[in-house]
Amino acid sequence: MREITIPPTAGLPLQWADLLPWGADDFAVQMAVWLGVQSVQLECSGTLALMVALRSLKRLRPERSEVIAPAYTCPLVALAIAQCGLQLRLCDLRADALDMDADCLRLLCSDKTLAVLPTHLCGRAADVDAALQCARVVGAYVIEDAAQALGARSNGKSVGLKGDVGFFSLAVGKGLSTFEGGVLITRDAVLRDVLSAAGAETPFNLWWELRRSVELLGYAALYRPAGLRMAYGKPLEQALSRGNWVEAAGDDFDDFIPQHRLGAWRQAVGSKALRRLSAFQQQTAEQAKARVAQLRACGLDVLDDIAADSQGVWPVILLRLPSQQVRDAVLQAHWGDGSGLSLPFVHVLPDYGCYEHVLGAARHDDVSRARDWAQRLLAISNSPWLDDARFARVLANIQAATQG
């Protein structure tokens, strides 16, 4: 009998009771309490949350036009920056950590810099303090990209609060999901008002809300062992059969970014699912701790939180393999077999080709260390559905590739 297909990340499965239109708390209030903040602002996606943040900051500093982001990040970041009429600059990464290099960042920061985007990639907590130090010298803002890090904490508080603005994604596979959704937070009262005013300009769009609601129903039905082969496994196999790793990784975005309100029913679904999120994240954290120990005992380089006194979340376990050849050999052998292996992103932004039109001068930024990271990273799903026996086989396959 064919084994179940493991999702690429540890998303929180929905329960059928979540879909009922009654019994929900106010989602925004509940999320604020869960995060330990005064209030949150809900948007229809993490991408729109970033755009609302950028538009708000641009109103406060209209003379500034550049946004600095890590060279290895989601292509949607580049698309969002371009749609806000701003110019992207790409910061290379540290050789020893999946985080922006401080020396490179200092050189990029100028009186043109509107914002710097430290990124809590794959749930690992980034060094926001270093980004703050560079940004403050030139009077720039800091937006924490915590799209993949809902629930991560730094110094006992939610990530997203050290910078001026933070945002989270509620997309599929990001832990809690309303199929698409975004959450904005800030500790600054003035910024909170500006963000609220900018968000209020987003219209309600019935067609998009109906579409997302149907997609959320599909997620509830298929994000479970019996449905994942059809929803994820078959499309992945087809993309890999065409040799299209960008499509397989879900990095193939077009320029259109939907902009509408997050509807009441999807908020109700999120509210009820949120009640289970802490327990689910505790379960995945304990699983990750045990498996990270196993991986390190085999001599593998497992990525941990970059910032001290931080506790990230664990949708995946990230490895840096010895070379691109080893990483690619593992993926070619096992990416399509349902074992839960994947890539965070396939390339650094300049290497996709299809996003050159939104990169501008950033095409020429030196991103050599980030490129090395992109070529050697491998993600192992931390889904509870990847049981110990199958994880042991995944580990053996990786060991065989590294030793071969």
Cα separations in angstroms, 135 against 61, 78, 118, 197, 305:
14, 19, 11, 25, 22
SS3 (DSSP) at 182: strand
pLDDT band per the 50, 70, 90 thresholds, residue 307? confident
pLDDT band per the 50, 70, 90 thresholds, residue 306? confident
Tell me whether strands 113-116 and 66-70 are parallel, antiparallel or unpaired: parallel
Q: Residue 308: which residues within 8 A CB-CB, separation 6 or more?
A: none
Output the pLDDT for position 268.
97
120 touches 144 (CB < 8 A): yes
DSSP string spanning 206-227? HHHHHHHHHHHHHHHHHSSTTT
Assess whether pLDDT exceeds 80 at residue 109. yes
Give the mean model confidence (pLDDT) for residues 181-199: 97
Sign of the Cα pseudo-torsion (224, 225, 227, 229, in order): positive
Residue 243 Rama label (left phi>0; alpha psi -120 to 50; beta): left
- Residue 368 neighbours by CB distance under 10 Å: 11
10 Å CB burial of residue 35 (0-12, 13-18, 19+) is: buried
Residue-averaged pLDDT of the chain: 96
pTM for this structure? Answer: 0.97
170 touches 176 (CB < 8 A): yes
Give the gyration radius of the chain's Cα atoms. Answer: 20
Assess whether pLDDT exceeds 90 at residue 403. no
Cα separation, 131 vs 129, in Å, equals: 5
What DSSP designation does 262 have? P
Output the pLDDT for position 155.
92
Assess whether pLDDT exceeds 60 at residue 1. no
The model's pLDDT over 12-59, given as tens digits with 9 standing for 90+, comes to 999 999 999 899 999 999 999 999 999 999 999 999 999 999 999 999
The model's pLDDT over 319-361, given as tens digits with 9 standing for 90+, comes to 999 999 999 999 999 999 999 999 999 999 999 999 999 999 9
317 touches 294 (CB < 8 A): no
Assess whether pLDDT exceeds 80 at residue 104. yes
Considering the chain, what percentage of its residues have pLDDT values greater than 70?
100
